[in-house]
Structure 1
């Protein structure tokens, strides 16, 4: 883990205007800067950056935070990835709690990738293969395609660049077996694999010398987990967040050719089926997911597994299965780009695809097989929401052979719904006095004790939640950021100004409470008399210029 001291030191070096301004064109607006919000479409700018407070806030969509939060949201990174990206941009060395990471990260992957790319130009067989597959030179450069030579050449190059072999072993480009080191990529076209923030974490290699394993990937390392990564995600993420769609294929060439044809939201799994660990990455931006898989047995099985996983996870999207031995790369190569676009638009929805695949596994002419198929289908539908179960039980029943069966036979046991779930209503009214009080807490914490003696969040009519959050120091809350950055809200100047405002506010509050007493039929005469004396006493003190304790 990155140490907290290191994080704080990095934060101190960051300039919010510099960080945000490297992605968005900012314009000066008083003490702040403004721009159209990069997180939602808008015509007039409501996105504000405050250099004095080191935060940004959008008054349109509510997005807000500091430099790290902006980098996370814009680049679609998690917290450690954003820290590492910013540290790299600002030439800052992070410290880690484990000794393994307490040194600058090895540059062996970047150097090796550059070397592989340079070697490609001198390898006619590799260039011939790339040309045959229809890959443009611009795509070779964009994706960093290279060529790995024999094992000794790779090891000698790593040593010549003054990297230790142990570094290369840790990064997965060199292996160790039976007392000797060997390069993991030998006489292969190489495809660098990047993390979500763009760092090279591994390689994929395609043989051109007839090796039994057509494709190989880097082994699992501290940096490379193929079950969490998607090939070319760092290239695709901006497009997929704009188009709200991502295309997942099975191979490097599919991705490269799709990008070449304009489908720049294409990615690929890394020699493995889609896993549960991929889902957090796929949830970013909530895109529609199109699984574009080969029509062979392995491709259909992978598509089925992925569809079960995605539909149970509530993802929207569908499946495209390619027939006639073709794949996306082949279709781009033969110029069928419009046909591809149509296929992606009309992808078969995940749930329908799974049910049809289940149905295809049984001989529905056999009543016993039909019953087993129905139970298999019901088992799958139970992984979905109750609404989807009801919607698709008719679909399942109608396809169970011949005239189908009655949907009433497709039964589910559903958990009872909770009728006591509270409805949360957001009060959009703005009370400038209450907001001013909250901003005073944010900017003058030395005055908080004076407030706490006489005021409780429950006394505020419109912004009690925000007041409570401010007292708790929850400065990362979007509502508090909005108050902090709003130049129309002015904090109280000093202790005397605060006292005068509190006296005026509390006098009105206790006068309201006094008026309520006579209308409360649940109170006895003695209780009413007690509260009347209590509130009149408080009001009398307030009018004499004395603050009164809330709990008295």
Structure 2
């Protein structure tokens, strides 16, 4: 069933592009009421912001990957959704009703879709949450949480549940009662087929945490076993997560990110811990800016998620278990994140402790004190290596190990400063340290692309708004828009001039009639990132200085054509005139 245009217009008006985009990347104010940040779209990892949103016009554009559009297009791209899925998600957030399809059509088209999978997962989470609260068989699960200083408010806030151990599936009848397809539980990884053919619940006998994406939508479950590991050690698995699916990949997911995101953006700081109860403990102690990995090592995908929220010069506080494995994992986080954030270390108590245990033993203040006592992680790691360097032989071993660690860093300033500090600590000349500094030359300064220059976008936008402007300017006859603007902006200007006379909004008309993605990207590049307007002749003069040399070079390259020789001379004179 087609979604009516007036419904789509309502969604675009209520779901503002800056608010939606800010859920995926940190935005900073730019000119003319716009905002900019690092591009959050898939397969575009950048460090210099080139992603612009314009709340007034409701569009976005990235000058790095040339993608752009309205808020619906943004959600399609960033979440890899279909058009209808993006519309339905936004409609639910801004409370716009969408005309419903007949039930049989909806059910037939919904099998296996992300929406259906989320529905099944949410039903499971609700069933398990009720079981934890009401089922006498969940006493051990409730005691597990109580022993770790969590109360009913904490349990409700995190949606914790318990999956009882039964002879057959508990979830199957619930899903059937709600008229979901019989395959929904299997597709979502909630139900499996036993060796005897009898279905059983995947998470049976486990304490349950629902897992969410950064936007707060459920994407999977995590379950902790409450069994004694010594009873059946070969089959014991302390934690299991939902299988990787279209919704969930544990290597891309940070537990608690949705709840932590506002505090992370506001404080420009994030605390990284290891377990689900560790996240709960640190948040309960007064630090909501906490996230945890979901049963995997910290990955490059995790680093990208945090970099987009922190922006440049944020802080990552690593608060993993106080043992050798935890500290080794902390160093890997420093390696992955040191280029965009200051990485500090907060050690949660004595060896073998973790944030949850620290809070259960010593209270909320102990957690806060640990965070406040954090120190630079790189220095603490190197200092740990030097702790047993009392003899020349041990000092040499420590220096070699430290050199190997510094080899993993790519920030030249950090490497050189820590090389100097390390030499001072060892009491040897800096030149005696065999510490490798990155051999690759630092990248050249970034050059702003011609299409990204304010004057170029300004003149093109003015010509779109007023197609008669070019003819009213007193310009040399030799000059054409193509002499001052790149080809794709000239194409937008030409299309705008061809709009029907009664067109009230040329920008909307250009977007709706764009022939392909490239044409649409050119429109959004102008609409999303145009700076404050200049006086037209000043814009022409600046464009001549910025784009004129490239245009002259193109004309000169065609010098074999006699007409081009005369054109070059006339164009050079014309550009010189408007640059005065």
TM above 0.5, yes or no, is yes
Q: Is 1:171 the equivalent of 2:188?
A: yes
Determine the C-alpha separation between the residues in 2 that align with 1:280 and 1:273: 14
3-state SS of 1:322 partner: coil
Deviation of the 1:237 alpha carbon: 1.0
Q: Counterpart of 1:319?
A: 345
Deviation of the 1:428 alpha carbon: 12
Match of 2:132 among 120, 123, 129: 120
Deviation of the 1:45 alpha carbon: 9.8
The two structures have a TM-score, normalised by structure 1, of 0.67
Q: Counterpart of 2:89?
A: 88
Deviation of the 1:245 alpha carbon: 0.8
Determine the C-alpha separation between the residues in 2 that align with 1:147 and 1:344: 31
**Is the Cα–Cα contact under 8 Å of residues 307 and 354 in structure 1 kept in the other structure?**
no
Q: Counterpart of 2:170?
A: 154
Q: Counterpart of 1:78?
A: 78
The two structures have a TM-score, normalised by structure 2, of 0.64
Determine the C-alpha separation between the residues in 1 that align with 2:335 and 2:455: 50
Q: Counterpart of 2:414?
A: 388
- Greater relative contact order (Cα < 8 A, sep 6+): 2
Q: How has the CA–CA distance of structure 1 residues 7 and 413 changed in structure 2, closer, same or farther, with 3 Å as cutoff?
A: farther
Q: Is 1:208 the equivalent of 2:226?
A: yes
Instruction: Kindly report which structure 2 residues correspond to 1:215-294, keeping only aligned pairs within 5 A, or say none.
Output: 215-286=239-310, 287-294=314-321
Determine the C-alpha separation between the residues in 2 that align with 1:108 and 1:533: 68
Larger radius of gyration: 1
Determine the C-alpha separation between the residues in 1 that align with 2:3 and 2:390: 62
Count of residues in Structure 1 that have an aligned counterpart in Structure 2: 462
Q: How has the CA–CA distance of structure 1 residues 157 and 531 changed in structure 2, closer, same or farther, with 3 Å as cutoff?
A: closer
Instruction: Kindly report which structure 2 residues correspond to 1:362-511, keeping only aligned pairs within 5 A, or say none.
Output: 365=391, 367=393, 370-382=395-407, 383-400=409-426, 404-411=427-434, 412=436, 414-415=438-439, 417=441, 421=445, 435=458, 438-441=461-464, 455-456=479-480, 460=484, 473=519, 474-475=521-522, 480-483=527-530
Determine the C-alpha separation between the residues in 1 that align with 2:523 and 2:384: 47
Deviations, residues 85-143 of structure 1 (Å, cap 9, x unaligned): 543232679x9xx9986685331101111111111112333333333322232222221
**Is the Cα–Cα contact under 8 Å of residues 120 and 126 in structure 1 kept in the other structure?**
yes
Determine the C-alpha separation between the residues in 1 that align with 2:91 and 2:568: 65
**Comparing 217-226 with 184-193, which one deviates more in the overlay?**
217-226
Unaligned runs of 5+ in 2: 21-25, 36-52, 62-67, 93-97, 101-105, 230-235, 494-517, 549-564, 575-580
Q: Counterpart of 1:32?
A: none
**Is the Cα–Cα contact under 8 Å of residues 420 and 430 in structure 2 kept in the other structure?**
yes
Determine the C-alpha separation between the residues in 2 that align with 1:328 and 1:205: 19
Unaligned runs of 5+ in 1: 1-5, 25-37, 58-63, 492-500, 514-529, 540-552
Instruction: Kindly report which structure 2 residues correspond to 1:129-144, keeping only aligned pairs within 5 A, or say none.
Output: 129-144=144-159
Deviation of the 1:197 alpha carbon: 2.2
**Is the Cα–Cα contact under 8 Å of residues 214 and 257 in structure 2 kept in the other structure?**
yes
Instruction: Tell me how large the CA RMSD over aligned residues is.
Output: 5.1
**Is the Cα–Cα contact under 8 Å of residues 190 and 201 in structure 2 kept in the other structure?**
yes
Determine the C-alpha separation between the residues in 2 that align with 1:168 and 1:236: 30
Deviation of the 1:225 alpha carbon: 1.2
Deviations, residues 480-527 of structure 1 (Å, cap 9, x unaligned): 43549x7x7899xxxxxxxxx9xxx89xx9xxx9xxxxxxxxxxxxxx
3-state SS of 1:116 partner: helix
Determine the C-alpha separation between the residues in 2 that align with 1:18 and 1:373: 60
Q: Counterpart of 1:516?
A: none
Q: Counterpart of 1:199?
A: 217
Deviation of the 1:318 alpha carbon: 1.1
Match of 2:381 among 336, 354, 364: 354
Deviations, residues 233-267 of structure 1 (Å, cap 9, x unaligned): 11111111111111111111121122223211111
3-state SS of 1:293 partner: coil
Match of 1:295 among 314, 322, 335: 322
